[in-house]
Amino acid sequence: MNYFSLPDSYPHIFGGHNAPIRILLDKFKVATWQDEHRTKLQEDGYPIDWAEIGVVLNDPYVIALRDLVEFSGGYCNGYLRLFNRAYLEGGAAGVVMLPEKDGKLLLMHHFRHATRSWHWEIPRGFGEPGVAAPDQARNEVKEETGGEISEIVDLGIYYSNTGLEGNPINLFLVRMESVGKPSQEMGIDQLHWVSVKELENMIASGEITDGFTIATYTRAKLKGFLS
């Protein structure tokens, strides 16, 4: 993946109307900054690859870019950005679904590798290249809960970490037709139906700490879909 060809293929991730932080793409300026920064890093005893500008991680799921950016005052430095590969390949970056049935909301007890702990949360997942967000939502709910969706309500876009991730995540309220069993293969050991009030209490008490769950509930509540 050639970093300097990315703006032609993905102009939306290199633009920004009246942006006060400008991405420098002049190869000479980038090379000059890298040489100077490598020297300083070496003098200070740090790894010189911290000065690398371009695609610094390219795996099947995540792409990490380190851009050389210039602030309005002229200060330049390298800054990391993360993207889900699916988003750059015509699919949704990710989907999050708040399942509802008969006035109750469905939570999953899910073990997460990143935190090495259990979390109460709602279904979500990475997108897939070329798969539209509503289709991905149906796939994820089926995979994680064994359930079928009767209606999908679009709650809009959410960015989970605007300082690092460029992924627009699609939030949905999903009306459930049925629910099966939790996917133990994915680290889910139980499903639990709660009232809106019970969910709110779990958020307020800190029992729910997952940001996607809190954001999707908040969007659904403020849009008037939950009472």
Percent with pLDDT over 90 in the chain: 95
User: What DSSP line would sit under 51-85, residue for residue?
Assistant: G--EEEEE-SSEEEEEEEEEETTS-EEEEEEEEEH
- Contact in structure between 97 and 137 (CB atoms under 8 Å): yes
Structure confidence at residue 162 (pLDDT): 95
Query: Helix 211-222 to helix 196-205 angle, to the nearest 10 degrees?
Result: 140
Q: Which two tokens stand for residue 152?
A: 């999908």
pLDDT(16) > 80 = no
Q: What letter does residue 127 receive in the DSSP assignment?
A: -
Q: With a cut of 90, say whether residue 15 has pLDDT above it.
A: no
Strands (E), the chain: 21-23, 54-58, 62-71, 76-84, 94-101, 104-112, 117-121, 124-126, 148-158, 169-178, 188-194
> Is the CB of residue 126 less than 8 Å from the CB of residue 139?
no
CA distance 53 to 68: 6
Distance CA 91, CA 85 (A): 9
pLDDT greater than 80 at residue 17? no
Q: Where do the structural domains in the chain lie, given as residue ranges?
A: 3-88, 94-222
Is the per-residue pLDDT at 218 higher than 80? yes
Average pLDDT over residues 146-174: 97
Tokens for 181? 């069993």
For residue 153, what are its two tokens?
């309500």
What is the residue-averaged pLDDT of the chain? 96
Per-residue tokens: 60: 């099947």
CB-based contacts of 48, cutoff 8 Å, min separation 6? 38, 41, 42
Q: What does the alpha-carbon distance between residue 164 and residue 185 come to, in Å, rounded to a whole number? A: 30
Q: What digits encode the pLDDT tens for the residues 26-81?
A: 999 999 999 999 999 999 999 999 999 999 999 999 999 999 999 988 999 999 99
Q: Is the pTM of this model over 0.85?
A: yes
For residues 87 and 81, give the distance between their C-alpha atoms in angstroms, rounded to a whole number: 13
Supply the pLDDT for residue 19. Answer: 87
At 86-99, the pLDDT tens digits run 999 999 999 999 99
- The pLDDT assigned to 102 comes to 95
- Homologous superfamily in CATH for domain 94-222: Nucleoside Triphosphate Pyrophosphohydrolase (3.90.79.10)
User: Rounded to whole angstroms, how far apart are CA atoms 33 and 20?
Assistant: 20
What's the maximum distance between 2 C-alpha atoms anywhere in the chain? 64
On the question of pLDDT at 176 being above 90, the answer is yes
